């Protein structure tokens, strides 16, 4: 009698565990977008309030979405401009200090918001972010008439996948991959090891696959202390990158490593650009 009772309890617990697992999988399947994108709509400050000269730009993607970005002209004679693809959170107003870092070494910057971020219209999607990056490239090369050989495509975190995609479509001066992952699938399989993510994951952002088709110098930047995108992702991207290439190892968290290792970061960029010009 006691054995039968224990078996019944065990079956009930097994059923509840299976139901919970199934419910968790459904949640991941139907709410993937909320795990991928964390947009901020409010612009918390502007470059003008920071004493920086810039142009507030509106431009359109190929599917008709109105996008917003800020353009900062280069300050040295080389005229190189960074097309900056930010990560999956916040909006361009959170990256003004990063823009200033590039400007301090003479580079121009065009930083833009993907659809659904900041003042850009539309709703987030993987294909949409690629359309948005292509539109930003078109604005620089067509509207601003900047030669592709003077454009550095830079992507941070999720923006690394978008930057790598854009770089394989064109021939920029260089590609910067900062704290980027190899793919969403690789990240998800580590954070959810007991979930068959590859079977229902709708978002790919396959940075590594795109990188294999890039024909430009590549700079990979990653922190050994990064717990959001582990260091191994940067190492794998560097191994796959074409030559010439350079790896900059930083210290600090996923978001703060660029501040904590500021001198290593900026000097590394300058050395890389000098060696590939």
Q: What does the pLDDT look like over 11-41, one tens digit per residue?
A: 665 555 445 545 555 555 555 888 899 999 9
Give me the long-range contacts of 181-184 (CB less than 8 A, separation at least 24): 181/157, 181/205, 181/207, 181/229, 181/233, 182/206, 182/207, 182/208, 182/233, 182/236, 182/237, 183/207, 183/208, 183/209, 184/36
Over the stretch 218-257, which tens digit does the pLDDT of each residue have?
999 999 999 999 999 999 999 999 999 999 999 999 999 9
Neighbour count for residue 24 (Cβ, 10 Å): 13
User: Cβ contacts of residue 209 below 8 Å, gap of 6+?
Assistant: 183
Q: How many CA atoms lie within 13 A of 211 on its CB side?
A: 30
The yes-or-no verdict on residue 10 having pLDDT over 60 is no
CA distance 47 to 142: 24
As a whole number of Å, the end-to-end CA separation of the chain is 82
Task: Name the average pLDDT for the chain.
Answer: 91
Residues near 185 by beta carbon (within 8 Å), at least 6 away in sequence: 197, 198, 201, 204, 206
d(CA 243, CA 59): 34
Element of type H or E holding 82: strand 81-85
pTM: 0.90
Q: Is the pLDDT of residue 42 over 90?
A: yes
Whether 1 shows a pLDDT value over 70: the answer reads no
How open is the CA angle 237-240-245, to the nearest 5 degrees? 80
pLDDT of residue 277: 83
- Here the tokens at position 214 are 């890039």
E strand spans, 86-160: 89-90, 108-112, 151-156
């Amino acid at each position: 009698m006691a054995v039968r009772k224990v078996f019944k309890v065990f079956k009930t617990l097994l059923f509840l565990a299976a139901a919970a697992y199934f419910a968790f999988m459904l949640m991941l399947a139907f709410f993937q977008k909320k795990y991928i994108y964390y947009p901020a709509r409010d612009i918390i400050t502007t470059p003008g309030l920071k004493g920086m000269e810039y142009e507030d730009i509106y431009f359109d993607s190929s599917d008709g979405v109105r996008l917003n970005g800020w353009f900062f002209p280069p300050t040295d004679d080389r005229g190189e401009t960074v097309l900056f693809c930010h990560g999956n959170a916040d909006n361009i107003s959170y990256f003004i200090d990063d823009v200033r870092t590039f400007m301090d070494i003479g580079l121009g910057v065009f930083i833009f918001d993907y659809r659904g971020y900041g003042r850009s219209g539309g709703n987030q999607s993987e294909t949409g972010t690629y359309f948005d990056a292509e539109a930003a490239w078109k604005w620089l090369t067509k509207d601003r008439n900047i030669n592709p050989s003077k454009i550095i495509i830079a992507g941070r975190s999720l923006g690394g996948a978008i930057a790598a995609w854009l770089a394989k479509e064109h021939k920029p001066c260089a590609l910067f991959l900062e704290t980027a992952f190899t793919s969403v699938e690789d990240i998800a399989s580590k954070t959810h090891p007991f979930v068959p993510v590859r079977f229902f994951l709708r978002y790919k952002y396959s940075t590594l696959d795109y990188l294999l088709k890039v024909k430009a110098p590549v700079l990979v930047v990653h922190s050994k202390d990064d717990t959001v995108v582990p260091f191994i992702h940067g190492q794998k991207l560097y191994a796959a990158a074409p030559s010439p290439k350079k790896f900059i190892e930083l210290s600090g968290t996923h978001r703060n490593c660029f501040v904590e290792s500021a001198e290593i970061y900026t000097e590394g960029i300058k050395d890389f650009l000098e060696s590939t010009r």
